[in-house]
Structure 1
């Protein structure tokens, strides 16, 4: 168990000291691991085509340097089955990405890589190419770290490179549910049981980043939305209505 898991144990204050002593070295190594790509999959329980994308995201979620997120959207709910994990802010995030590209089209399964590249979520070849291309263009250039200390979440954001001192962005805390099996009873996927990973349960704005090194700490209750049991931190350009390139990211406990 990693030291920052302590904040997610019911009796955390009694157990945290022992966990910290027993696994400080392993936890320190895990926290230092850089994230090289962020993949967001916009999907729906009512979308028949999404069944081939969900295993792809599960495989990506197992890669140490990848943040792989499931974002269930609401616009297929009229097809006979209401997605039990979907929320309107996630639908609006996908539409915001479309606005950033100068269009209006959204679809499922749609994957967005590092806030910029777009592909069909089941096309692993295209996703690998987008991650590789993004890395060659500088990838996620800003170091981001997060950890739980007691009942607080600490976030550290690095400074922009000197050559890109004009960079600006927003810091987002993204509560996630690490795993959930859903028995879909109607619609295009009726009769199927689907296991979703890293399901986004909310988007919490923590603050503005002006290119300088930044440290934030917030109550861990900000990550305790719905049934979330971990979190991701994103440093992203643009705004809520027009999200832009992701500059950096960090994984929370168990991811």
Structure 2
């Protein structure tokens, strides 16, 4: 090798050693598998809800968690009608209470993986349950993607299925701030993440690998700009344990 070509060879060798590391640094990190679905039942008319909503925003940013906000309607009589509330979400919370033998519902309430509720601002209790879920995760694999004007959902098999479950497409509004003008929170700005705008049942899952499709128009309700997928047990028509979930774009 001549003296003129030696510098070029050294530069080429250096680049060859650096490129794999540079490429690896450009690749997106693999998403942590979902291990918990958190449902916050809240209301713009609930004076004690803002701390729970703030905590929920922090939880929503944690990897491995799917956070869903369900605004309810039963505090509307206090002087401010929740602008995001829906009776469907109130019914869902009541159904959870019935399934778990509870006699009342309240806000802010947090339901984890379809289990019993706890106070939405109970940071210590929430952290304890989060630690319990850290070792496991949601047992049923779920994958979703958009293909043209269709949303395609693939639910994996389970050799020991936990029972019959329904597969749900959940339209979401990823972020919304609401200025409350009347009622107990008058003058406050309520800030929400992943606000549920509807529940769209795709079909039943019985333990076998299954594929579901829905038109993308199914999520175009209430200003929704993303969606989630839930595989949730059905207990006599009541919502049961959540066995699998997936996040849509931007979550």
Calculate the TM-score normalised by the size of structure 2: 0.85
* Structure 1 residue 149, shift from structure 2 partner: 1.5
Aligned partner of residue 128 in structure 1, secondary structure: helix
* Structure 1 residue 134, shift from structure 2 partner: 4.0
| Structure-to-structure mapping, 1:24-103, within 5 angstroms | 33-103=32-102
Give the structure 1 partner of residue 109 of structure 2: 110
Give the number of the structure whose residues are more often helix, by fraction: 1
Between stretches 32-41 and 64-73, larger displacement belongs to: 32-41
| Structure-to-structure mapping, 1:1-255, within 5 angstroms | 33-135=32-134, 138-160=136-158, 162=159, 164-165=160-161, 167-238=163-234, 241-255=237-251
List runs of 5+ in structure 1 lacking aligned partners: 1-24
Aligned residues of 2:38 and 2:113 also touching (Cα < 8 A): yes
* Structure 1 residue 241, shift from structure 2 partner: 4.3
Aligned residues of 2:33 and 2:137 also touching (Cα < 8 A): no
List runs of 5+ in structure 2 lacking aligned partners: 1-25
Distance in 1, Cα, partners of 2:148 & 2:161: 34
Aligned partner of residue 48 in structure 2, secondary structure: helix
Aligned residues of 1:114 and 1:134 also touching (Cα < 8 A): no
Aligned residues: 226
Calculate the TM-score normalised by the size of structure 1: 0.84
Give the structure 1 partner of residue 22 of structure 2: none
Aligned residues of 1:96 and 1:240 also touching (Cα < 8 A): no
* Structure 1 residue 133, shift from structure 2 partner: 2.6
Q: 1:172 to 1:49 in 2, by over 3 A?
A: same
Deviations 1:22-46 (A, max 9, x none): xxx967x66x642111000000000
Distance in 2, Cα, partners of 1:77 & 1:171: 31
Distance in 2, Cα, partners of 1:71 & 1:146: 22
Give the structure 2 partner of residue 20 of structure 1: none
Aligned partner of residue 48 in structure 1, secondary structure: coil
Aligned partner of residue 53 in structure 1, secondary structure: helix
* Structure 1 residue 218, shift from structure 2 partner: 1.3
Aligned residues of 1:170 and 1:239 also touching (Cα < 8 A): no
